[in-house]
A and B are shown apart, each in its own frame.
Chain A
């Protein structure tokens, strides 16, 4: 039987509602672990953040990372990278037949900028 550890949010706190009490107890037990370089990751996922957002997210995401750190303690040594039942059922593939496409007006219907049946963007420099 797996021992219910302090990590599980329900376990801590003595107030009636689950929310904040459990959390404050939980926070007390936390250890500083990973930290995300928000500015760098924001570049990777194309989000232009201002400094306030970067700072706020740095803190909040740090908290979230602590939430997920508990996974590091679970024993996954017996779990292979590729499960044994991978691809156990037959293939689900599409027959090579061409179907009707959108009429060009429908394809471009939502384009923020279009011209001569093309989607227009600022010039792409190679």
Chain B
């Protein structure tokens, strides 16, 4: 019997705001414990929340980028449960009137793991539908010691966006692609840095299996403690196996929460926190409802970036880049912005793309702050396109460019790298080569066309590689034909 997986992901994203969701404390990772705390985020008696406008705007923006319906009015609700990392023992969240509903994340080929990119699954452009996106506050952070735990409230109150997908994801690779694509979009909108290692993007998974063709869902398990996108993939691969083994032996899956241990490569049953999750949601009486149509939606729309897929399509369509080139550039927003500046003055846009992708990226630069003036790439591309230097010469120039930021023309002049295209000069050198290689000439005339390469090599050597190879080919061919 063949089984298929049914997977839904719940992703929590910390928003990139200056202050916390309901108070003015700084929203900053890595500060000394309890240095960004106040009565509100400590849950002191008498404190009251006031919502962060920017957090609402960023959530609307995310909803717009993902094609969601933005609610005209939304509100906050209290989600009641007890845990030591909860300052109030209720979390301010959104229950029945969230900011966004619907929408989808379309899986792009290049978002799949490299080894899967040729699979049909990766090329299906499958949309993973979203249920909703809502806004809430993060909990405090705990550190665990021998007999005690220590709690740091710096993180408490950080604005958190919860993105819930439908159970449309069918494989660990799709889950990987979903998270990669989602992350890229979040970076594009400057909504979050979404770094999973810093806890800025966190993922819980619901996974069940069922025989292929069955309509009903199997019993699902929730997986927690997934700390990286590839960790999610590994955990899913393991858990799917585990569930299939149980079910195929006639056993039943128990609905439970399991903790992924990346080191052990296994999921373990977690201790049950609340028997039944009766969160007793009710509208938070301390908070007024929020309208999105009185300026917030407009503000979000105004900052809508060109989305990764749109950008890719445009690069291919308008700048004649290849799919691969468009993918690499669009996956790195600052690099792409640099590319657009760097290619503006030249017709040879593909050439600029190649330099950036092949040569520049090999130097492992910080793409968010490139020191090289972008116009130099245009000049370099022009020099090659117009035949003034050879492509191998270009590599030499490029190496110098990275070192000195000098204009390419100046480098070429300095190093004397002018490509020789002048036919009169080359005619003479070709004659020399023919004279020096009678055997190759004879071979060529006898039908071995490749013999021309030896003659060509001769000319290149004589010109220290600066001869224009196309012109040399032409001249030699003409001379040998006669």
Q: Within the complex, are A and B direct neighbours (CB within 8 Å)?
A: yes
Asked if B151 is at the interface of the complex by the 8 Å CB criterion, the answer is yes
Chain A residues in 8 Å Cβ range of B51: 93-94
Residues 70 to 123 of chain A near chain B (Cβ within 8 Å): 82, 86-87, 89-104, 107-108, 115-123
A104 near B35 with CB under 8 A, answer: yes
Provide the bound-state CA to CA distance between A119 and B55, in Å.
28
Chain B interface mostly helix, strand, loop or mixed?
Answer: loop
A102 near B38 with CB under 8 A, answer: yes
Asked if B73 is at the interface of the complex by the 8 Å CB criterion, the answer is yes
The number of A-B residue pairs with CB atoms under 8 Å apart is: 132
- Closest beta carbon of chain B to A111's beta carbon, Å: 9
A98 near B144 with CB under 8 A, answer: no
Asked if B457 is at the interface of the complex by the 8 Å CB criterion, the answer is no
Asked if B291 is at the interface of the complex by the 8 Å CB criterion, the answer is yes
Provide the bound-state CA to CA distance between A22 and B73, in Å.
46
B21-29, B348-356, B458-466: which lies at the A interface?
B21-29
Chain A residues in 8 Å Cβ range of B66: none
B26 near A98 with CB under 8 A, answer: yes
A94 near B24 with CB under 8 A, answer: yes
Answer whether A121 and B151 are a contact pair too, CB < 8 Å, given A87-B288, A96-B17, A97-B24.
yes
Answer whether A118 and B143 are a contact pair too, CB < 8 Å, given A87-B290, A97-B24, A98-B25.
yes
Provide the bound-state CA to CA distance between A115 and B146, in Å.
14
Chain B residues in 8 Å Cβ range of A87: 73, 75, 288-291
Chain B residues in 8 Å Cβ range of A126: 225, 259, 270-271
B53 near A118 with CB under 8 A, answer: no
Chain B residues in 8 Å Cβ range of A92: 50, 288
B142 near A124 with CB under 8 A, answer: yes
A119 near B288 with CB under 8 A, answer: no
Provide the bound-state CA to CA distance between A100 and B147, in Å.
34
A124 near B84 with CB under 8 A, answer: yes
Closest chain A residue to B23 by CB distance?
Answer: A99
Closest chain B residue to A41 by CB distance?
Answer: B278
A118 near B27 with CB under 8 A, answer: no
Chain A residues in 8 Å Cβ range of B270: 126
Apart from A104-B34, A107-B42, 16 more pairs, CB < 8 Å = A44-B280, A93-B50, A94-B53, A95-B54, A96-B53, A97-B18, A100-B24, A102-B37, A102-B38, A107-B35, A107-B37, A117-B35, A119-B34, A122-B147, A125-B271, A126-B270
A101 near B38 with CB under 8 A, answer: yes
Asked if A3 is at the interface of the complex by the 8 Å CB criterion, the answer is no
Provide the bound-state CA to CA distance between A120 and B89, in Å.
17
Asked if B32 is at the interface of the complex by the 8 Å CB criterion, the answer is yes
The 7 closest A-B pairs by CB, nearest first: A118-B150, A99-B24, A96-B54, A87-B289, A93-B53, A107-B37, A98-B26
Provide the bound-state CA to CA distance between A46 and B296, in Å.
40
Closest chain A residue to B44 by CB distance?
Answer: A110
Provide the bound-state CA to CA distance between A92 and B32, in Å.
32
Chain A residues in 8 Å Cβ range of B89: 46
- Closest beta carbon of chain A to B283's beta carbon, Å: 10
A98 near B288 with CB under 8 A, answer: no
Answer whether A124 and B149 are a contact pair too, CB < 8 Å, given A94-B53, A96-B17.
yes
Chain A residues in 8 Å Cβ range of B259: 126
Closest chain A residue to B72 by CB distance?
Answer: A87
- Closest beta carbon of chain A to B223's beta carbon, Å: 13
Give 1 or 0 for each of B135-149: 1 = CB within 8 Å of chain A CB.
000000011111111
Closest chain A residue to B276 by CB distance?
Answer: A44
Provide the bound-state CA to CA distance between A116 and B152, in Å.
10
Provide the bound-state CA to CA distance between A120 and B151, in Å.
6
Chain B residues in 8 Å Cβ range of A99: 19, 23-25, 38
Asked if B404 is at the interface of the complex by the 8 Å CB criterion, the answer is no
Asked if B7 is at the interface of the complex by the 8 Å CB criterion, the answer is no
Provide the bound-state CA to CA distance between A82 and B26, in Å.
35
Provide the bound-state CA to CA distance between A92 and B144, in Å.
39
Asked if B52 is at the interface of the complex by the 8 Å CB criterion, the answer is yes
Provide the bound-state CA to CA distance between A122 and B271, in Å.
16
Chain B residues in 8 Å Cβ range of A91: 53, 288, 290-291, 294-296
